[in-house]
Structure 1
Amino acid sequence: MLAPAFSAACDEAILVARNEEKVPNTLHLYRRNAPTISMGHFERVKEVVDLEAASRHGVQIVRRMSGGSAIYTDQGQIIYSLLIDRASAPGDPVRSFEMVCRGIVLALEGLGLDPEFKPVNDVQIGGKKISGSAQLRRWGVLAQHGSLLVDTDLDIMCEVLKARKRPRGDMTSLREELGYVPDMEVVKTAIVRGFSSAFGVEFERGDLTEEERDLADKLEKEKYSSPEHTYLR
């Protein structure tokens, strides 16, 4: 599991390395070691976060590199980042979201469920959201990251996000859909297989390169851990 600020820094470090063609198209899977609100780059913290509730529950805040809406993540979620060259994806955002989200759809089908892509950027089961995503196009790279709800605390999510101050009946998780909490490694394997099938490729397991890790360490310290960046707006 990764610290929230370091996980955000890793996404940007991989994007830089992919743009410079130092690494291939990359699928990065991780979990965060603390409950976290991931802010869209252009959002205002006080407009979307209940700061008192976040403090009470020990929820950290990071501002990610992509736009979109704030999301709540905890140890009960698996987060994915897919970083590919832009030429591999449709130019139309909805079509590119659908292309990438197909990896999650196939992963859930592999777990015996019946999901569907819901434009613009969600995956649902029975009309309830189980995965959302955000996208960034920078230089020659398309980056999409999202989360899959496995056993997340939906009650805390609704407390800390102002947009979710309502009954949580429009959300679901693998625990609720399967009737048990699946092993995280089983879910990760399903995600890898889903993306492999969606893109017709085989992913090779790997770690950050030394250059990616050095940049991630720098970005974590100077950017993503910085209150000036987090409370930019």
Structure 2
Amino acid sequence: MHGEYKIPGGKLVVVDLDSENGLLRDVRVAGDFFLEPDEAITAIDNALEGAPAETDAAGLVARIEAALPEGTVMYGLTAEGVAVAVRRALARATDWTDYEWQLIHERPQSPALHMALDEVLTAEVAAGRRPPTLRVWEWAEPSVIIGSFQSLRNEVDPEGAARHGITVVRRISGGGAMFVEVGNSITYSLSVPAPLVSGMSFAESYAYLDDWVLGAFGDMGIKAWYQPLNDIATDAGKIGGAAQKRMVPTDGGPGAVLHHVTMSYDIDADKMLEVLRIGKEKMSDKGTKSAKKRVDPLRRQTGLPRETVIDKMLDSFRVRYGLTEGRVTDEEMARAEHLAETKYSDPEWTARVP
């Protein structure tokens, strides 16, 4: 069995092993990390040898840490990262490069249709009828998108939304509210087969699926990092947030994960504060007193046009994993348009948590 895990902000960890009578055998840990002293790598292998295959990540970490020689120093490597790689080997997890990735980047669409497309395309990946897909959104109108479990009245000021012509929709994933205006945000979705994140916790899968965009920002000279649970941050402030929804296997398919991210390219902070109700508790949790300072737009950080930032992101993804041009099929679009009308434009869905 073979498992790989790119530690966020660190290096690649590779684990090869067998499982015999429910125990780990012939464990070999490798990668492009740095580790001192040399004998520490053997200690890690020996710590995992004979471990019950059902040992959870925390149990594997405990075995590794107990076996490390005194004074061991890891660079780009963590015991947690090794444990994830082991769990991915046992789950026979896939890697980014195992797939033919498809790009969808189409005309501006309504907020309700974007919600519906996320659901339909990810369901198609879950059923095995669509390849893993990276979809870049273009907005036809300004919107607030609230998380699946958020209270509508607690998150949105209806008078402010009406005054500024803001459409409010609810998505199927959890997380917080997103404020977007035409041309002022960069939003994308990853619809990926579930085996890509096999062996990972929810938190680990967020970091793993965000790692490529952190690399893309690095190529643009922006030092960005994943900030648990679902933020993309820089020294200047947060630039984006992610949300996920898991879809179970259907029609013999692998199941899928919807991972979507919205980043602020530019933002009208005053308008945002007139539309969103950002509570004091949320602000104190983020360690800042000003909502305006929580988000630092990409326009200021890059000095590049929005289209250029998107192109550089896609180029980075393409170099890493490959990416071919695709489209929403007629059948997928018909289903999405029906869902946009019957579900995502329905006031009962939008206010399902009043």
- 8 Å contact kept, 1:25–1:85: yes
- AA in 2 matched with 1:24: P
Match of 1:81 in 2: 189
Structure 2: gaps (5+ residues): 1-107, 249-254, 281-289
Secondary structure of 2:244's aligned partner = strand
Q: Are 2:175 and 1:175 equivalent residues in the alignment?
A: no
Match of 2:336 in 1: 216
Please report how far the alpha carbon of residue 161 of structure 1 lies from its aligned counterpart in structure 2 after TM superposition: 1.4
Match of 1:148 in 2: 263
Q: State the TM-score, normalized to the length of structure 2.
A: 0.62
Q: Which stretch has the larger CA shift, 161-170 or 151-160? A: 161-170
Secondary structure of 1:120's aligned partner = coil
Judged with a 3 Å threshold, the aligned counterparts in structure 2 of structure 1 residues 156 and 194 are, in CA distance, closer, same or farther, namely: farther
Which of these residues, 137, 149, 155, is aligned with residue 42 of structure 1? 149
Structure 1: gaps (5+ residues): none
Whole-angstrom CA distance in 2 between matches of 1:37 and 1:127 = 24
Q: What are the superposed Cα offsets for residues 184-226 of structure 1, whole Å, 9 maximum, x if unpaired?
A: 32122222234345xx421111110122111111111111111
Residue correspondence of structure 1 range 1-233 to structure 2 within 5 A: 1-75=108-182, 76-90=184-198, 91-139=200-248, 140-163=255-278, 166-178=290-302, 180=303, 182-196=304-318, 200-233=320-353
Please report how far the alpha carbon of residue 103 of structure 1 lies from its aligned counterpart in structure 2 after TM superposition: 2.1
Whole-angstrom CA distance in 2 between matches of 1:185 and 1:212 = 26
Secondary structure of 1:162's aligned partner = coil
- AA in 2 matched with 1:48: E
Whole-angstrom CA distance in 2 between matches of 1:164 and 1:185 = 33
- AA in 2 matched with 1:114: K
Q: State the TM-score, normalized to the length of structure 1.
A: 0.92
Secondary structure of 2:321's aligned partner = coil
Q: What are the superposed Cα offsets for residues 157-183 of structure 1, whole Å, 9 maximum, x if unpaired?
A: 2221112674411210112213x3x22
- 8 Å contact kept, 1:103–1:196: no
Judged with a 3 Å threshold, the aligned counterparts in structure 2 of structure 1 residues 63 and 143 are, in CA distance, closer, same or farther, namely: same
Q: How many residues align?
A: 229
- 8 Å contact kept, 2:236–2:296: no
- 8 Å contact kept, 1:101–1:122: no
Secondary structure of 1:217's aligned partner = helix
Computing the radius of gyration from Cα coordinates, the structure with the larger value is 2
- AA in 2 matched with 1:229: W
Whole-angstrom CA distance in 1 between matches of 2:270 and 2:143 = 14
Whole-angstrom CA distance in 2 between matches of 1:118 and 1:129 = 9
Sequence identity (%): 30
Segments ≥4 residues shifted beyond 4 Å: none
- AA in 2 matched with 1:217: E
Please report how far the alpha carbon of residue 73 of structure 1 lies from its aligned counterpart in structure 2 after TM superposition: 1.4
RMSD over equivalenced CA pairs, Å: 1.6
